[in-house]
Chain A
Amino acid sequence: MAKKDKGKSKVTVYPDWCKGCGICVEFCPAKVLELNAQGKCTVVREEDCIRCGFCELHCPDFAIVVRDKEFPQKDKSENSDKKTATGKGA
């Protein structure tokens, strides 16, 4: 889906909120996630994440967050331009 984004994302799982249902693990196309010994979701192959967003959208407990890794070369002005272009804030 978004192969070009591979390796650019940081995947965070909140173990306190995870109930270990396994939906994210089962459907992750890049097999980034696994259930650990406690039955909770953990990130094992973050570099393979293609940022399809499935796990974040399908986590019933809002326990996964996928966001950009902080890249030092990121152009700040470009970012702020993008923000104004989006128009209405929430």
Chain B
Amino acid sequence: MSEITGNEIIHQYLRHNKKFPHVLCAGCGHGIVLGTLIRSIHSLGIPRDDVVVVAGIGCSGRLAVYVDFNTIHTTHGRALTFATGIKMANPKLNVITIMGDGDALSIGGNHLIHAARRNIGVTALVLNNNIYGMTGGQSSPATPLGSTTMTSPYGQLDKSFDTVELAKGAGANYVARGTVFHVRKLEKIMTEAIARPGFSLVEAITPCHTQYGRKNKYKSPVDMYKWMKKAAISVERYEELPEDQREDRLPIGVFVAKDRPGFEERYFAMKAEFQKKTVKGGK
């Protein structure tokens, strides 16, 4: 028998008592992100019992239920707060949060910047589809300027958040961006993000054709993948581009890669110091 590869690996990690195919629309990139996450965890050889997937609310929030890890579907925007508690309670666990763009950047924006500042040892996946998908296509903080959505029928007036810049500014340990078209690259950064200490953020650009694409001149899900193929450019090459050619390009790759110890490491090191002192001081 040949070695098991590809989707057969993923099949082993799916919950067999859940109904498949999953609930997401045809062509939704979230499934690809989930597959990539499973491959990353598999390649790192982390036992399932040690993996905690903490999801927020929205389309991305529905992913957790399908995988055979410890899975927690939390409240809207709060995934990182639950994850912080779990990681501090048991630092041995690999805690991964799955959040959408509305989840992570709007309602959960405060938690995101503080998780980054605190450098808690959690991997945050931000599945950016530029829209609130599950509620029917309202504009999110990642909706591009001028886009049509259910709550910006005359065009989005405000500028969207740059997740990467936000995380960088907040002091995250590891910041990277990938797309679901460039899956191998996404898998590489996701694996690195999970393996690193401290707070890692991976933004995955994933298209929502049903709620965003259709209203913004993308005829089919395939068109959105073509857009990603065209727009994405490695961060190294992006930096070389002259300023006027940068518009409409999407830099992908690793933006920050530090090895600062996570908050939990620092906390338990402090505790260990106390314990040493008590042993010394004991009569």
Contact = CB atoms under 8 A, between A and B. Distances in A.
Interaction A to B: yes
Interface of A: 16-23, 26-27, 53, 56-68, 70, 79, 82-83, 88-90
Interface of B: 2-3, 5-8, 10-11, 14, 20-22, 24-32, 35-36, 42, 45, 180-181, 183-184, 220-222, 225-226
29 contacts: A16-B20, A16-B21, A17-B20, A17-B21, A19-B25, A21-B26, A21-B27, A23-B221, A27-B225, A56-B7, A57-B6, A57-B35, A57-B184, A59-B35, A60-B28, A60-B30, A61-B21, A61-B22, A61-B31, A62-B7, A62-B11, A62-B20, A62-B35, A65-B6, A65-B7, A66-B6, A67-B2, A67-B8, A83-B3
A48 to B, nearest CB: 18
A90 B21 contact: no
Contacts, number: 87
Contact of B2 (A22, A59, A63, A79): A79
Contacts of A56: 6-7
Given A60-B35, A60-B180, A64-B7, 17 more contacts: A16-B20, A19-B27, A21-B222, A22-B220, A23-B222, A23-B225, A26-B225, A57-B35, A59-B7, A59-B35, A60-B32, A62-B10, A62-B35, A63-B7, A65-B6, A67-B2, A82-B3
B8 A21 contact: no
A60 B6 contact: no
Contacts of B180: 58, 60
B8 A65 contact: yes
**Main SS of the interface on chain A?**
loop
Contacts of B181: 58
Given A26-B225, A65-B6, A67-B5, A60 B45 contact: no
B185 to A, nearest CB: 11
A23 B225 CA distance: 8
Contacts of B2: 67-68, 70, 79
Contacts of B10: 62
A90 B27 contact: no
Contacts of B8: 65, 67
Contacts of A70: 2
A62 B8 CA distance: 8
Contacts of A22: 27, 220-222
Nearest to A86: B3
B258 to A, nearest CB: 27
Contacts of A21: 26-28, 221-222
Given A27-B225, A65-B6, A68-B2, A60 B27 contact: yes
